[in-house]
């Protein structure tokens, strides 16, 4: 079974996304979006090649667009990834990674 690990920063990102989504839309939408992001993390753990190379932002990192966010991760082994950050696509990615 594939696994993914969230860094402390990724956990903080999810918390901020949750809070912003509740404030802007609703609790129901926050739950839906949160579940989408976590399902994407699970998909990436099972198929790490789904992401694209983001060496231009940070050496050795992959990224995958999920909703309006990009999940940045590195491959630890054949069936394990570490999610470094979950950032909105319009952010200055270089300064955040």
pLDDT tens per residue, range 12-34: 999 999 999 999 999 999 999 99
Average pLDDT over the chain reads 92
Low-confidence ranges of the chain (pLDDT < 50): none
Assess contact for 63 and 52: CB atoms under 8 A.
Answer: yes
CATH number of the domain where residue 24 is located: 3.30.2310.20
* Domain interval for residue 21: 3-96
pLDDT of residue 56: 83
Count how many domains the chain has: 1
pLDDT at 59: 87
């Amino acid at each position: 079974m594939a696994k993914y690990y969230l860094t402390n920063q990724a956990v903080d990102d999810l918390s901020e996304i949750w809070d912003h989504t509740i404030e802007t839309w609703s609790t129901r939408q926050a739950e839906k979006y949160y579940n989408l992001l976590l399902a994407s993390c699970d998909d990436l753990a099972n198929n790490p090649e789904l992401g694209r190379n983001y060496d231009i932002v940070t050496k050795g990192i992959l990224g995958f667009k999920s909703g309006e966010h990009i999940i940045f991760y590195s491959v630890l082994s054949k069936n394990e990834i570490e999610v470094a950050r979950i950032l909105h696509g319009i952010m200055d990615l270089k300064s955040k990674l």
